[in-house]
Every structure is written in structure tokens, then in C-alpha cells.
Amino acid sequence: MSNLKEIKSITIIGNGNVAWHYYNIMHQQKLDVKCVSAREDIKEEDLSKDLIIIAVKDKVIEQVARKIANRTSILVHTSGSTNIETLKDKSINYGVFYPLQTLTKGLELDFSQVPLCIEANNEYTLLHLKSLAEKLSSKVYEISSNQRFYLHLAAVFACNFPNHLFGISKEILAKEDIPFDIIFPLIDQTIEKIKHNNPFDIQTGPAIRQENSIMANHKSKLDKDQREIYEVLSNKIINKQR
């Protein structure tokens, strides 16, 4: 293994969003990359690569890693919420190769802007992962397992949850035959503002102004699920101010 100069051959195990995007960008970078499903019979030749990327659901990472019982390759997972030590004893060189981005199979994006968060169990592995990551993206960060956990948690609040709220917003407008894009400048400006201010300092809307009759009117037009979200978030906005 000490002969390895840089990572050139890669097996990706998984068939989800991350596997799709890693395969896509590595293939574009002319790397020798192959993608195999975790449920397939993984062949010995797939395991004799410089790097094996386990890109499966968190709860089966350890199970897949055990199946591989790899001896020589660098072994990484791609999870935001799984500790690096989950791969301990599955290889002497292991780490994490986590893309801090919302990835959807088939939807290409500028991968050079995807923050890649890497972690490794030793210097040898770290250098190799870093070198590979820098080929794929201009945003490479060394992030510990503990930091990565909080990053992932912060991403749930900054992306997964807002995405659902955007869905509700679109649904509300569609009912009144109003195109969703009328609201895009407002969304863009909201994003621009949070990049330069503490969001709590620039909160707007009926909750922060405690306009109770507007909030009551709003709630009267929402379905049960929408109303529950409206109530919780409005209350939290009001509480935060106190």
C-alpha cells in the first residue's frame, strides 16, 4: 500500500443519490470508477481497487463494510451522521468522504462548488482522500466526526426543512392559480440577507410583529398539517424574540 501514489481506481457501492453523483463526477474526471449495488454479489475484482466508497443508507454501512472484509484498499463512507469509527477494523486505512450538498440522482450540478468534508484514521489516508477531493471540488474541508454530525443537523434545518416549506408555499399558490415564480425574488432576497446577517436579527412576518388577527386568518385557510407547522414556527419566532 505504501506504493500507492494517488487514488486512480474506485469502486462505489450503492445506487442512491450520492453514489450516482460520485460516479458521474469521477467518470468525468477519467478515473477508473465502477458502481455496484450493495445487494449484488460484489466481486473480488471490485474490492481490489485503490478506494472503496460505501454510499448506502446509514443503517447498513457497517453491515456492508463487514461483508467487504477488505484488507488493502482505502475504505470510506459518505454519511453525514455516521462516525468514522464505524469502519474501524474493516480496513487499516479508512475515512469519510461526505458531500455537504443536496444531491438528486439525474440532476447534474457544478460539482466544483460542492463542499467535500473529509476525515481519515491516519495521515496516509488523509493525504490520499484530500488529493482526490481536490480533483473533484474546490471546496475541501477536514471535518471531524463530531463536527460532521452537527453539520448534518444544521443542514437539515437549513435545507431539508425549508424545502418542505417551499413545497407548501407552492401548493398554496397553485390553488389560487398564482405562479410560484412570483415569489422567487422574495426567496432570493431572504437567502441574500441571511448570508450577511444573523437571521434572528432580520426576522420579518406576522409572527415577529405579533399580528394575531392576521395569523388567525392565515390559520383558518390552512389544512391540518399546514396549520400545525404554522403554529409551531410562529410560536418559536415569537419566543425567540423575548
Per-residue contact track with a copy of itself, 2 to 41, x per CB under 8 A?
---------------x------------------------
Mark the segment that binds a copy of itself (CB under 8 A) among 22-30, 33-41, 120-128, 136-144: 136-144
Q: Which amino acid makes up residue 213?
A: S
Which residue number, 109 or 126, has a Cβ lying nearer to a copy of itself?
109
Q: Which residue pairs from 85-89 have beta carbons closer than 8 angstroms and sit at least 24 positions apart in sequence? A: 85/145, 86/61, 86/62, 87/54, 87/61, 87/121, 88/121
Q: How far is the CB of 158 from a copy of itself (least distance, A)?
A: 4
Mark the segment that binds a copy of itself (CB under 8 A) among 6-14, 26-34, 69-77, 96-104: 96-104
78 alpha carbon, distance to own chain's centre: 9
Q: Is 195 in the site for a copy of itself (CB under 8 A)?
A: yes
Which residue number, 2 or 239, has a Cβ lying nearer to a copy of itself?
239
Per-residue contact track with a copy of itself, 53 to 82, x per CB under 8 A?
----xxx---------------------x-
Q: Is 85 in the site for a copy of itself (CB under 8 A)?
A: no
Which residue number, 8 or 130, has a Cβ lying nearer to a copy of itself?
130
